[in-house]
Amino acid sequence: MLLLTDDAGEGQRLQRALGAAQACEVVALDDALKHKPEHSAIACLASFDPETTEQLREALSHHRTDPRIPVLFLMRDSSLYASTQAEALGATALLPSDASDDQIIAAARRMAEVVVDPAPQTARTESVLEADVAEIGAALVELMQAAKENRQIPLGLLDQGAERLVTSMRRTGIRQWLDFVRRHDDLTYQHCLLVAGLVAGFASRLGIAPGSQKMLAQAALVHDIGKASIPRHILHKTGLLSADEMALIRRHPADGHALLTGQRGIDARVLAVVRHHHEYLDGSGYPDRLRASQIPDFVRLVTVCDIYAALVERRTYKPPIAPAQAQAMLVAMGGKLDQGLVAAFGRLVAEM
């Protein structure tokens, strides 16, 4: 592994942690172009001022000779701006620079695994992904069935499904997940699985803390749980919905929230996603017509992924929209969505 840094002292500290997982060479950013591009993984520790960002771009262009080479950014700044800059430079994973040694070692080991098995669509990857989708899909079926019967959802199953989802994203990536899930026969579950994969993968790329990644995965799996009691012929209707049918569909966020609110042990952030994933920043969404600062960042993230999934998924009455076109439609929604998140999501779409 190569560690590029603008701080030799801090670089030596991180080298010790990274070196516990694989051999690590520290190179000053100023000297990066003098070294041969011969490493199978890259870590970066630097600030994002204009001059340093340009140095990073040149160094990565020189050393990342294969786009499959993983790049870990160790972030001094946890802001959305810093995450966006790292994404633009090709980050495949983000961690705080003050992360524990165990977290850094785990990240380095995951990077080593990517290099050991670089082909994204080997038979082994397909088999593992099939098992992941089968387990998470089965959990989703049980969660929806519990909601349909108006009984408490099995929280252990939700927790296991979210954990398996986060692990699967780390192992296979979003593109493979989307390709595989699109083969799912049931369109209701296909949508939830697409949204869940997009949310988990996007959260990981933004460097969101592991605990919050898992929370977002849980929220994505149950974000449409209020649809459990809506007749399938309405959910999959090919023509225009009647006024009554539309009103029923638009009730699902509030219905899902009401169902889960009465159950102990569900994260309040999950409840917020279930109720507010159809809210827009300009106040035109539903059910509560929230505006701007009233909508938390994690809800905004799920909303972006939810809309994108609806555009690219297979439907009986329409072909899927191409990724680039779907991303353009998110951009065209302007002030309804968090365009900072949309831009960061667009860099992810470009890799799909």
Q: What percent of the chain has pLDDT over 90?
A: 48
Q: CA 343, 206, 62 angle in degrees (round to 5)?
A: 85
Nearest to 190 by CA among 328, 338, 309: 309
Question: Is there a contact between 226 and 192 (Cβ–Cβ < 8 Å)?
Answer: no
Kindly give the pairing relationship between strand 42-45 and strand 71-75.
Answer: parallel
pLDDT tens per residue, range 297-329: 999 999 999 999 999 887 766 778 889 999 999
User: How sure is the predictor about 117, in pLDDT bands with cuts at 50, 70 and 90?
Assistant: very low
**What single DSSP character describes residue 185?**
S
Alpha carbons 68 and 40: distance in angstroms, whole number: 9
Alpha carbons 229 and 210: distance in angstroms, whole number: 32
What b/e readout covers 48-81, taking b as 16+ CB neighbours within 10 angstroms? beeeebebbeebbeebbeeeebbbbbbbeeeeee
What is the predicted pLDDT for the residue at 123? 53
Rounded to an integer, the average pLDDT of 153-171 is 90
Would you say residue 21 has pLDDT above 60? yes
Would you say residue 162 has pLDDT above 70? yes
Report the range out of 57-71, 99-113, 319-333 with the highest average pLDDT.
319-333
What is the predicted pLDDT for the residue at 317? 63
What is the predicted pLDDT for the residue at 50? 84
Can the peptide bond before residue 231 be classed as cis, meaning omega within 30 degrees of 0? no
What is the predicted pLDDT for the residue at 184? 58
Q: What is the residue extent of each domain of the chain?
A: 2-116, 123-349
Alpha carbons 224 and 233: distance in angstroms, whole number: 16
334: left (phi over 0), alpha (psi -120 to 50) or beta: left
Location of structure tokens 């509030």: 254
Q: Is 180 helix (H, G, I), strand (E, B) or coil?
A: helix
Alpha carbons 161 and 200: distance in angstroms, whole number: 12
What is the predicted pLDDT for the residue at 114? 66
Rounded to an integer, the average pLDDT of 238-259 is 92
Alpha carbons 27 and 14: distance in angstroms, whole number: 12
**Domain 123-349 CATH (choose: 3.40.228.10, 1.20.120.350, 3.30.470.10, 1.10.3210.10):** 1.10.3210.10
pTM attached to this predicted model: 0.66
Residue 262: Cβ-neighbour burial (10 angstroms; 0-12, 13-18, 19+)? exposed
User: How sure is the predictor about 180, in pLDDT bands with cuts at 50, 70 and 90?
Assistant: confident
Architecture of the CATH domain 2-116: 3-Layer(aba) Sandwich (3.40)
